[in-house]
Amino acid sequence: MSETASASKATPTRRPEFRNLNLLSDIRGYRLPPAGYISILHRVAGLLIFILLPFVIWLLDVSTSSEISFERFAAAYTVGVGFIPAWFIKLVTLALIWAYLHHFCAGVRHLWMDATHSVTKSFGKSSAIAVLVISLLLTVILGAKLFGAY
């Protein structure tokens, strides 16, 4: 075997290295797989749940304190609270619903992958798409109920 043939087999072809990425010019050409988007959305959903925690505590407190406070809770979704309109409260609640459902579905996906060692590229793609579809479908169903479609 010649020296050049053995040298080419010994050194693999170099993949391009991306250093000092410029967000404005390089991000358009970079494509994440679906699992990457789901991972980012999982973090965004967790942050949204954390940020909206005072709202959740307020909802729980107002809805369970007394009958009068429950009426105030129900009125928040029909007429609003102070200067905050009811549609905005419903929108924040819808964001919280999406965040919880997406975070839950993505968490179940991660637990399933950890428990079954299903870390193939095809399973990652199909499970990421399933998480996105399921969480968005459930959000649309609950959002339709929240906004009075049924």
pLDDT, averaged across the chain: 86
What pTM did the predictor assign? 0.75
Q: Is residue 17 part of a domain?
A: no
Q: Is residue 110 part of a domain?
A: yes
Cα three-residue angle 28-31-36, rounded to 5 degrees:
130
Q: Is residue 103 part of a domain?
A: yes
pLDDT digits (tens, 9 = 90+) for 116-150: 887 888 888 999 999 999 999 999 999 999 998 88
- Our count of domains for the chain comes to 1
- Extract the tokens encoding 98: 């999406």
* Phi/psi at 81 (5° precision): -130, 115
The residue range of the domain holding 125 is: 35-146
Q: Which of residues 50 and 5 earns the better pLDDT score?
A: 50
Q: Which of residues 138 and 26 earns the better pLDDT score?
A: 138
DSSP string across 19-64: -S--HHHHTTT----HHHHHHHHHHHHHHHHHHTHHHHHHHHHHHH
Among residues 133, 128, 142, 64, the alpha carbon closest in space to that of 96 is found at 142
H or E stretch covering 102:
helix 86-116
Most trustworthy range by pLDDT among 29-33, 39-43, 80-84: 39-43
**CATH classification at residue 65:** 1.20.1300.10
Q: Is residue 18 part of a domain?
A: no
Q: Is residue 4 part of a domain?
A: no
Give mean pLDDT, residues 19-42.
79
| Sole residue written with tokens 């729980």 | 60
| Sole residue written with tokens 């170099």 | 14
Q: Is residue 29 part of a domain?
A: no
